[in-house]
Structure 1
C-alpha cells in the first residue's frame, strides 16, 4: 500500500492505492490547519472549548442557586457538545475494483473520529461518475455526483464530499482517478472480450 498527496497545492487530499481498492480521502481543513497532532494544532482546535469551560466555571457559582440557569446551561452544554462531536472530519470515496464505490463520512472531534457513515454503491447500479455544477446564491459551485439506476429504472444521485465541498482541482483529480479505476478497466476488459 502506498500513500500520496497528488496535489502539492492541496495537501488536504490523500490518495491511498492498494491492489484491491483505492481511497480518495479529503480532510476538513476548516476545523484545524495542522494535519499532524502538535501542541499548537491541539490548542488551535480546542481553544473555544477551553473558553466555554472557563465561562461555565466562572458563571456557575454566581447563578447556581437559580434552577432556570441550570436548565438553560444544561441545554446549551448539550447542544454545544452535540455540534462539536458531529463535525465532519473527513470524507472519502473508496473505489472497490469491479464491485463499486463506497462513500464514507467521519464525524467527531478534531483528531478523534467518533462516528463513521458509509454508503455502498454497487457497480451494477452505477451509471456514471460526473462533475456537475450547481448554483448557490449568485455563485456557481462544482461538485461530484454518482448517478445510479436501480433495477426498476429509478435514478438517484449521491454526492461525494457533500459536506466539505472541495474546489475544482481536487474534484478533477478524484474524477480522473475514479474513471481510470472503474470505467476504463471495464471498457478495456469488454473490448478484449469482444475481440476474442
Structure 2
C-alpha cells in the first residue's frame, strides 16, 4: 500500500524523536495550520462570489495536502483513511447533495416551492437543470469561465510583481505581460493586476492552473 503524506507527518512506523525530528514536526504543524487557514479563506471567497468550481478546487487542494492517499486499481488517487473537512467545505458538500437528491426526487432544486404541486421533473429535465442546480450556470454566468478569469488575473499579478522584483520598470513589466497574455491597454492591465493581488490576499491558493 502506497501512502502519500503531503505534510510529512503522521506516517506509519516508528522513528526516533530526535531534536531535528521535533523541529521538523513543529515546522510541518505550522505549515499545515497555514494551509488550513489559506484554504478556508479560499473556500470563503468561493462562497462569497458563488463559484462552485473555486470551491471544489479548494476542497481538492485541502484533501491533496491533508489526507492519507492510496492508489486504486486504476492508478488514481483515493482517500484511504477517515478525515474531517473544514465546516465551510462540509456545508458546501451537504448543499450539493441536497440539490442532487431534490433532482432525483423530481423536485426543482432552485424553485422547489413553485414546483411542489407541479408534475415531477422528468430525468431529462433533471439532468438539464443539474448545472444550474449546482451553481455552475445562471443567467449570463459560467462558473468555469469565471474561475479561469480569476486565475488569469492571479498569474498576471504574480508575473508583474516578479518582474518588478527583478528590477524591471513598470512600463517594461506591463509590456512583457502583453507579450505573454495579449495586448491590452496598460490602465486596464493595472486594474487586472490589482484584482489578482486582491484574490491572492483574500484566499486564492495553489496549485494554480496553468496560465
Global fold match (TM > 0.5): no
Using structure 2 for the length normalisation, give the TM-score. 0.27
* TM-score, with structure 1 as normaliser: 0.29
The structure whose residues are more often strand, as a share, is 1
Higher relative contact order, chain-length normalized (CA < 8 Å, sep 6+): 2
